[in-house]
Amino acid sequence: MALISVDEALARLLRDVKPLETEAIPLARANGRVLAAPLFARRTQPPFAASAMDGYAVRAADIAQVPATLEIIGEAPAGHGFSGSVGPGEAVRIFTGAPVPDGADAILIQEDTERNGNRVTALESVPQGNFVRKAGLDFTEGQELIAAGRRLNFRDIALAAAMNHAKVHAVRRPRVAILATGDELVLPGQEPGPDQIIASNSFGVAAFVEDCGGNPIDLGIAADTEEALAIKIGKAVEEKADVLVTLGGASVGDHDLVQDVLGSQGMELAFWRIAMRPGKPLMAGHIGPVRVLGLPGNPVSSLVCSLLFLKPLLLTLQGAQIPPRTMETARLGASIAENDRREDYIRARLSFDEQGNAVVTAFERQDSSMLATMTAADALIVRSPHAPAASAGEIVPILRLDIR
């Protein structure tokens, strides 16, 4: 089978993927969730003209000539407006966030005054509207402020609260069953046999699923037998997973049985093997409603493929926009060789030169088993198929690893 391009693989993976059902959730649990419907302001903010500073509510005309002494007729702390009206020669002691009383048209900050009993002397003049936040400065009732499909972040949560939403409608989290495969694997904390290693991929992928708004379901480790694999794959269907991620056993070896067993469980294959490094043996398909993504076993391959394929799949299931693969560029810190036919994702360190330009330097060793390099990396340099050799200083696309 020929290798297909990353773009073609993504298109096949996402074909016919529809957003999951929606649910109402408390705002306090909405971080990272995708809005199912636009959010409209349920109130105007601020709801009244408010003071932006601690000081005195005055009539600007009264202090056009300074010094000018005014009579303090009351006080307005936040949460307790002054009910009277400020007349000529009068002022109200006011604090940040309090409603500006009728009659006043400016705030004089306390640093520019001298207080003497219930009189205050203005030492500076101020223009009308000084330090007054008009009603609706931030937003007005009915305004659409957060679009459907937005993955809520800390700023959105604050805004949704200010708009007076205690709950929001979000797409439910995708359920993602994760199955490690291989006789060589034991769980962290166990004592591996002489020919064994610790299973790392399922932990990394589960954390990544959470980062993408999904709920990981750990199916454990299946031994390299058809029976063991069939039981675990059946479990993913039983658990009503939206996605089944298998790890390893995707390549061409005699013990790479995953695809065969998935096939015997009714999987329809969307693609297998792509022109990408790392990640060549990537496979996708579906067993009825369960989307299957077969990630290669090499640890870095499983993580890079998660970034490039699992993330768009989980975002699409949640009705969210998929960001472009690369949005940034950097200058090469050292030359890189010409590329072959596979789109290459090169682990690299980011730094900044004296002018503040981002500089990206590839690690010398790029073996897809090296997790320590993956953690040391800040970004992946993205090399298109057959990209010519590039020298230090040339600008290349990068994919940052430190953003969620």
Ligand X SMILES: Nc1nc2c(c(=O)[nH]1)N[C@H]1C(S)=C(S)[C@@H](COP(=O)(O)OP(=O)(O)OC[C@H]3O[C@@H](n4cnc5c(N)ncnc54)[C@H](O)[C@@H]3O)O[C@H]1N2
Binding site for ligand X (CB under 6 A): 180, 182, 184-185, 197, 199-202, 247-253, 256, 278, 280-281, 296-299, 301, 368
Phi then psi dihedrals of residue 322, to 5 deg: -95, 120
Least Å from the CB of residue 331 to ligand X: 29
Q: Does 278 contact ligand MOO by CB under 6 A? A: yes
For strands 290-295 and 379-383, give the pairing.
Answer: unpaired
Identify what 224 binds: ligand X, ligand MOO, none; CB under 5 to 8 Å per kind: none
Q: How far is the CB of 33 from ligand X (least distance, A)?
A: 28
Q: Residues touching ligand MOO: how many (CB under 6 A)?
A: 8
Q: Which two tokens stand for residue 252?
A: 């061409």
The interface partner of residue 69, options being ligand X, ligand MOO, none and the CB cut-off 5 to 8 Å by kind, is: none
To ligand X, the closest distance from the beta carbon of 209 in angstroms equals 14
247 binds, among ligand MOO, ligand X, none (CB under 5 to 8 A by kind): ligand X
277 binding ligand MOO? (CB under 6 A) = yes
Structure tokens at 296: 């290669």
Handedness of CA 22, 23, 27, 32 (dihedral sign): negative
Least distance CB 8 / ligand MOO (angstroms) = 17
| Cβ-based burial of 141 (10 A; exposed 0-12, middle 13-18, buried ≥19) | middle
Structure-derived torsion over alpha carbons of residues 96, 98, 101, 105, reported in degrees to the nearest 10: 30
180's contact among ligand X, ligand MOO, none, with CB below 5 to 8 A by partner kind, is ligand X
Residue nearest to ligand X (CB): 297
Nearer to ligand X, 34 or 209 (CB): 209
Q: Is 368 in the site for ligand MOO (CB under 6 A)?
A: yes
State which residue, 10 or 92, has the beta carbon closest to ligand MOO: 10
200 binds, among ligand X, ligand MOO, none (CB under 5 to 8 A by kind): ligand X
Task: Tally Cβ neighbours within 10 Å of residue 90.
Answer: 21
- Minimum Å gap between C-beta 278 and ligand MOO is 3
Contact between residue 132 and residue 51 where contact means Cβ atoms under 8 Å apart:
yes
- Residue 335 has phi, psi (to 5 degrees) of -65, 155
> Are the CB atoms for 349 and 363 separated by under 8 Å?
yes
What pairs with residue 294 in β-bridges? 246, 283
Which spans in 283-382 are helix H?
299-305, 311-317, 371-376
What distance in Å separates the CA atoms of residue 396 and residue 398, rounded to the nearest whole number?
6
Shortest reach from residue 47's CB to ligand X, in Å: 55
Site track for ligand MOO across 287-326, x = CB under 6 A: ---------x-x--x-------------------------
User: 192-199: which pairs have CB atoms within 8 A and are 24 or more residues apart?
Assistant: none
Summarize as ranges the residues that interact with ligand MOO (CB under 6 A): 277-280, 296, 298, 301, 368
